Amino acid sequence: MGLRPAERDPADRGLEVSGPVLSEPEAHPAPTASDPLGQPIRGPRALGDSWSRFWQLAYNIARSEFKLKFFGSALGYLWQVMRPLLLFGVLYLFFVVVFEVNKAKGAAAHFYGAQLLGSIVLFTLFGEASSGAVRSVVDRESLVRKIQFPRLAIPISVVLLALFNLGLNLVVVMIFAVAEGVHPMLSWLELPLIILMLTVLTTGVAMLLSALFVRFRDISPIWEVVSQILFYCSPVIIPAEVVREKLAHGSLDHFLYHIYTLNPLVAIFQQFRHAMINHATLSAGQIMGSWAALLEPLALVAVIMVLGFWVFNREAPHIAEDL
């Protein structure tokens, strides 16, 4: 920054170096007392003092990302829907056209296409949000190091963005389902609850991963593998009925089936298939054996959510320094 000679008083044009004439505000002495002197500044945190500001931030970050994807390319919407649809196309060709799984398994296999597409779309939310969250905080380094804002807004915005996409994708799923012959059912009202459970789980995972990645950079490849495993271990391609049939003998089978059902995605996807597409498929309660047994995966969702928040909240004050 340079000086602006024209602005100086005419009096100090020569050698007279006089400061600008200021009306001096009374200088405050440095504080010594321990009584509060206004709003304390506590440093960065996961959440701020104001919920509305937190949501505005998360929502607007997600919104601008969405806009980027949507208007960034000529076929914005199409590309967004294309990804799960392409995956669906390949799997459908394999399992329905070639192996004809929909004909072999009786009533539960009806509308297998719609079940498959629905599960893929739900998994897309989970996969997109969790793997998107991993790098999210680190990628927004410039924000984190230069502005004070509730840090949690970043991973939450990733989840919100995935929810926007889910909204678009679900429209396609419902069109496909109705075209396949699924009739509207009262149980469709369960959809918000199913999505809520999935969102809570996803949020927990997103918080956990984004906070851990700041310290452990190999979280990213590890999560890629784990995410793939979860895709195949959830009722996306292979319905839960088939798994239950295969794992019906002996204590080892019983143990493995128990592990399988611990995965909250199993109950969530299976309930989606049951309530949204085909009542002949097993509901979440039936898969678990009883509705009470559902408490296990539910508890796991709660644990992941709390753990995710706890870890993120613990890391939040240091993120700007550890990047």
Interface positions with another protein (CB under 8 A):
1-5, 7-8, 12, 14-17, 19-20, 22, 24-32, 34, 36-44, 49-50, 52-53, 56-57, 60-61, 64, 67-68, 72, 140, 142-143, 145-149, 212, 215-219, 222, 317-318, 320-321
Give the number of other Cβ atoms within 10 Å of residue 282's Cβ.
Answer: 18
Q: Which is nearer to another protein, 32 or 251 (CB)?
A: 32
Closest CB to another protein among residues 69, 258 = 69
Q: Give phi and psi for 62, each to the nearest 5.
A: -60, -40
56 vs 228, beta carbon nearer another protein: 56
Q: Which is nearer to another protein, 240 or 319 (by Cβ)?
A: 319
Nearer of residues 38 and 250 to another protein, judged by Cβ: 38
Residue 306's contacts (CB-CB under 8 Å, 6 or more residues apart) are: 204
> Cα separations (Å) of 24 from 3, 28, 208?
21, 11, 51
User: Min. distance of Cβ 146 from another protein in angstroms?
Assistant: 4
Output the CA angle 161-86-65, nearest 5 degrees: 20
User: In sequence order, what are the residues at sequence separation of 6 or more whose Cβ sits closer than 8 angstroms to the Cβ of residue 127?
Assistant: 227, 231
Give me the least distance between CB of 1 and another protein, in Å please.
4
Least gap, CB of 28 to another protein (angstroms): 4
One-letter amino acid at 108 equals A
CB neighbours of 118 closer than 8 A, spacing ≥ 6?
A: 173, 177, 272, 273, 276, 277
Q: How far is the CB of 305 from another protein (least distance, A)?
A: 22
User: In whole angstroms, how close is the CB of 232 to another protein at the nearest point?
Assistant: 23
